[in-house]
Structure 1
Amino acid sequence: MSTNSETRGEVLVVTGMSGAGRSTAANALEDRGWYVVDNLPPQMMRPLLELAGRVDGQLPRVAAVVDVRGGELFADLAQIVWQLREANNLRIIFLDASDEQLVRRFEQVRRPHPLQGDGTLLDGIREERRQVQGIRERSDITIDTTHLNVHQLANRIAEMFEGDDTPRHRVTIMSFGFKYGLPADADLVADMRFLPNPFWNDDLRALTGEDARVREYVLAQEGATEFLDAYMAAIRPILAGYQRENKSHSTIAIGCTGGKHRSVVMVRELGDRLRGDPGIQVSVKHRDLGRE
């Protein structure tokens, strides 16, 4: 294995106590573009990094969740990580919580601790603490999740590991026609049927909201720009709240009768206005354009 392939990209080992939030951390990383492998045996880390090095930067950030579910294989984690650190941009994040909080979390989900066996929850937790002590001492980052809920932990992970160009929230702005039904996945819906319909203009009927003449016609109508200004003022706090609550994607649906004229224009306008907002990635979709 060449040094160049091993040093490409970032590598993160996510480990820690069972019940301390490894799955939440992994999901938060995946939402922000990391390639995440869950429950990876430590012995498979080197082949994973070799593979990541062969795909020409397509896996620039790799996270491996490694924990005691690996059984006896887990015992080699500290040694393997120490060896790989010499040739890789590798960090270790260790998630921990108090014994009392871990007991409560296991009781809430009604699942046994992976090392509990015939003993109690506390027996399993104490045995796990003994097994993870070596890797905990070598971790780069330790997060105590005792007083964090899942949203707070996900936000902590996002703040630590997302890049400057990584969007915290992806929003799809979709045009649609009411006569074809509401989009099932819409978080917010707005109705453009309060505007005159270009369909009834013989010169515009065959065109779509993608055409400049239709755009000019729609935006010239009374209430069009007022709606855009007011709707932008309304949705920006909502999108900011989605980010705070770690909601990674939302869909804003803008409808008119057939999804051909008014809604298409307004979706384009809203998309142009939202692009450039910090932490937001915008995509535009026209669900029903072309159905007539």
Structure 2
Amino acid sequence: MADTAGEVLIVTGMSGAGRSTVANALEDLDWYVVDNLPPQMLRPLLDLSSRLGDQLPRVAAVVDVRGRDLFSELPAATRALRERNNLRVIFLDASDEVLVRRFEAVRRPHPLQGDGTLLDGIRRERDVLAPVKENADIIIDTSVYNIHQLATHVNDLLHEEGAPRHRVTVMSFGFKYGVPPDADLVADMRFLPNPYWNDELRHLTGQDAAVSEEVLGQEGAQEFLDAYVAALAPVLSGYQRENKSHSTVAVGCTGGKHRSVAMALALADRLKDVPGVAVRVRHRDLGRE
């Protein structure tokens, strides 16, 4: 059977240099991430990736000295995998001073510290990792990064051209059922006349053309839509710069059936033109009595 494995990324490096942050950033980029994997398990994982094909197109494994004696086999395992896979190794590093400060902040010992000091553990780890760092494809010094800056750097480094950097959910809802607790931004459509009071439209929803035309044709509706899209565009661009991968824009009316639904659909259609953004629509209260 032909080897159909996709991209493979090994994330390793110094303890305290940001492996967890990088793993989380990769998950946000739709990588399948396995943490604290012994090197001996890399081949079975990648064989599984090959069999599943498009279901696991990009696999990342975090491998580090928590594996103790097993970690010594990483260089040999990496060399063998490079022969068959589109493999890259990311090595995360930081200065001794920064690593000591990070360990002291979380009040945890270094995994190789033993009965010694933090610096003893860091120096032992540098010795163990020297051959891995030497053969790494990408080395990132995280000394000057906070967790958000490191995630943004990884996003910039591994982001696929054309893929969305931010996913926004435009959610219609009814105020009488409460404001969505996960909403980042909330817009109120109760300034528009309610189609509920029109007997011909009451049984329909904002998904129906007749209701949509009625709502969007009201005085102020198009002005609101134009202004709100213009206001959201720099916000969504800023979310991308700040590595905020998801947001929810909630659009409400009284019952969440007519005005909010119609406006949410129109808003989502316009937001699709914002660069780097993928848009989905959810109608939270549609169908409630």
| TM-score when normalising by structure 2 | 0.98
Is contact 1:32–1:166 with CA below 8 Å preserved after alignment? Answer: no
- Mapped pair 1:100 → 2:97: yes
Match of 2:21 among 5, 20, 24: 24
Of residues 87, 90, 94, the one that matches 2:87 is 90
Report the CA distance between 1:95 and its aligned residue. 0.5
Please state how far the C-alpha of 1:8 moved relative to its aligned partner.
Answer: 2.1
Q: 1:75-224 to 2 correspondence within 5 Å?
A: 75-224=72-221
Q: Which moved more, 1:170-179 or 1:154-163?
A: 154-163
Number of the residue aligned with 2:267: 270
Distance apart, 1:245 and its partner CA: 1.4
- 1:117 is displaced (CA, Å) by 1.1
Q: State the 4+ residue runs in structure 1 displaced beyond 3 angstroms.
A: none
Q: What is aligned with 2:235?
A: 238
Using the TM superposition, give the Cα deviation of residue 276 of structure 1 relative to its aligned residue in structure 2, in angstroms: 3.5
Instruction: Please give the per-residue CA displacement for 1:194-249, whole angstroms capped at 9, x wherever unaligned.
Output: 00000011111111001111111111111101111111111111111111111111
1:213 maps to amino acid: A
Please state whether the residue corresponding to 1:45 is helix, strand or coil: helix
- Indicate the SS of the match to 1:229: helix
Q: Deviations over 1:9-61 (max 9, x none)?
A: 00000000011111111111110110000000000000000000111221000
The separation in 2 between residues aligned to 1:50 and 1:261, in whole angstroms, is: 51
Query: How many residues of Structure 1 are paired with residues of Structure 2 in the alignment?
Result: 289
Would you say the 8 A contact 1:32–1:167 is kept in 2? no
Partner of 1:288: 285
Of 45, 48, 51, the residue aligned with 1:48 is 45
Please provide the CA RMSD for this pair. Answer: 0.9
- Aligned residues of 2:196 and 2:202 also touching (Cα < 8 A): yes
Report the TM-score when normalising by structure 1: 0.97
Return 38-47 or 148-157, whichever deviates more: 148-157
How far 1:165 moved relative to its partner? 3.4
Give the Å deviation of 1:289: 0.6
